Structures are given as structure tokens and as C-alpha cells.
Structure 1
């Protein structure tokens, strides 16, 4: 019955929800496919795939002029490297590493 539902609604947003509710966690992959192409969708997608706060913030600013400014501030400045590494590893450890470097 799962495959019937999957095929009958494969090309619709609701269909992607049903398909992915079988492939992965219902909440996570449902939300990802419903809104994958939208700006807000990338935010929610990453809140599923990674840590909600960090990856949401990354995609929220990635594609806009103001966003690129914010992204550059995060990646290129001392305070920015602190924030970036809080995302990538242990908050305390990588933060201290970049402060030293």
C-alpha cells in the first residue's frame, strides 16, 4: 500500500510528503520536500538536516546581498570564525582554536 500511495501522488507536494515519510523521518523529509525550493524552505530543510539554529542562519542569509554580507562577517572575522566553528564542532574547542589562530 505504501508503493501505491507513493506512485499515485509522486509528483505533488503532498505526494513527496508521503514518499519521504517512508524513506526517512516523517517530520524531517516531509518538510524538506514541501518547501525545498523556497527561501524559507531551505531554512526548514537545514533545521532538519543539521543543528536548527546554525544551519538555519546559514541558509537564511546565503543568497541575498545582505545575506552575503552577513555570511562574510561570520566566516571572515574573528567573531565570525567563532560562530562558524560553533556550528562545525564542539562549541568550546573550535572556538578557542580559532581565537588562537
Structure 2
């Protein structure tokens, strides 16, 4: 006859000793909910430097532009290059106009 203290090893929570690290894998949806719930870690005196909590970077495949259009990586790089060229050209014009005025 089983007593209330008997359980299968699979149903017991994992407990780590004080000196060993504890790693628990969770689903992405649970991870997102936890990060949303505890967004301010300083409230709980949580030190990320001491923790093994991390999340791998997920590279973006698409980007959202300011009007709400979805752009691919190539389209976004093209937009960034054109902005950079425009900025450089304006800077060049300002330098020449300042030079000719003096």
C-alpha cells in the first residue's frame, strides 16, 4: 500500500544543491510570459550577472518600416544605405556653403 509520501521520481520537482547550477528548460511561450511579468528585475534584487538566465538571439528575417510596411533584409539595407548617402551629401553641401561664406 502506497503512502502519501511515496511518489514516482518523475513527479518530484528537480532540486539542486546550493553549490550546483540549476537549469530548467521552458517553452518559449512560458519564457515570454515570465519576461513580460517580471520585466523590472531590480524590483526583486535579481542580478543577471550571477544568473545563468539567458536567451539566444534570434535573427530577424523581416523588418517593419515606419509606415507599417514589411521589408526584407535586402530592402532594409537598401533604405539604410540611401539614408546614409543623403546624410553624407547634405553634410558635404553644408561644409562647402560654410567655406564659401567665410
Alignment TM-score > 0.5, same fold? no
Compute the TM-score of the two structures, normalised by the length of structure 1. Answer: 0.31
Higher Cα radius of gyration: 2
Please state which structure has a larger fraction of its residues in strand.
2
Q: Which has the higher contact order (CA 8 A, sep 6+)?
A: 1
